[in-house]
Structure 1
């Protein structure tokens, strides 16, 4: 507690001193932000809906070489099925050409292509990515496709194509059966018919 004498001395010392003007650090005045119009809110909602659910990496890519043969087989794909894929013995029901595409456009194209293949029960497809002998870094798009396809659960296997289909500049891709097709096959088996398809 300050004594009366001390307080009087302090006041005497502070005589003629003007207090500094305080700068307000937080503005508490509630500035009114105009409510977005109904039309603007609808546009924002549409934009959110249209955002891609694409989860494919655009940063971490395993680099491969232009003449490398690529292959991938997930659990559950038999060696016989994989051998047939490697030999190009399945009919190609869908085709995606990525030549001259930039990386982000190719990433979106690959993702949508595989989703569409499964939606329309396409089981065997081909993706043409090119060798990338002139790209910098070399085989960049090929490396991207190799990485991306392994990140898509609907892709159960892929292998570099035969020469007449593009060789190491293309990939045969096997796509998982859709739930609808699995149910259909189950019904066929229950009726006594074998499902011999991959």
Structure 2
């Protein structure tokens, strides 16, 4: 074990060997990287859960090419729904999904509905077609893919009050007219 005097001697020897020392100028620390933008994780989880539920529901009660799509929330009055069914409520915007695959159609429909809500639209038309133009238009069970995709997605949206297949002059069972909830003013 070394004595305290030996440690002082070692330190003195080191300082003599190194020589005079000057302090380096202080450098400013680099800026911290920007924090990531906050994400709506609960909304992302809800969307993922809805997508999974949607995919499971696709195997149940599939609509056929000529079937009428119809659905409404209990809060929609009968006279309003009748007007929607008859085509008396005009669509303010339209989305045509012809030729889109299911994944693309799903993304387009989500974006279209979000945009319609953002712009305060009350009624829109979605053209899904009846299927039958190609083998990809039908599922393995023979049901039209886009028609069933639109049906399931619209039923899951809180912003959709009601929908019904369009009258024959507006696309018939190859299109659906959708009544949207008024946007909430903030």
TM-score (norm 2): 0.67
- Does 2:55 match 1:59? yes
| Residue of structure 2 equivalent to 1:175 | 180
Q: Which runs of 5+ in 1 are unaligned?
A: 1-37, 184-198
| Residue of structure 2 equivalent to 1:148 | 153
Give every structure 1 segment of 4 or more consecutive aligned residues whose post-TM-superposition deviation is greater than 3 Å. 52-56
TM-score (norm 1): 0.63
Secondary structure of the equivalent of 1:99? coil
In the TM superposition, what are the counterparts of 1:42-191 in structure 2 within 5 Å?
Answer: 45=36, 53=44, 54-55=47-48, 56-57=50-51, 59-60=55-56, 61=58, 62=60, 63-133=62-132, 134=134, 135-137=137-139, 138-180=143-185
Q: How many residues align?
A: 140
RMSD: 2.5
CA distance in 2, matches of 1:175, 1:151: 13
CA distance in 2, matches of 1:147, 1:101: 17
* Cα displacement (A) at 1:143: 0.6
Question: Bigger CA drift: 127-136 or 151-160?
Answer: 127-136
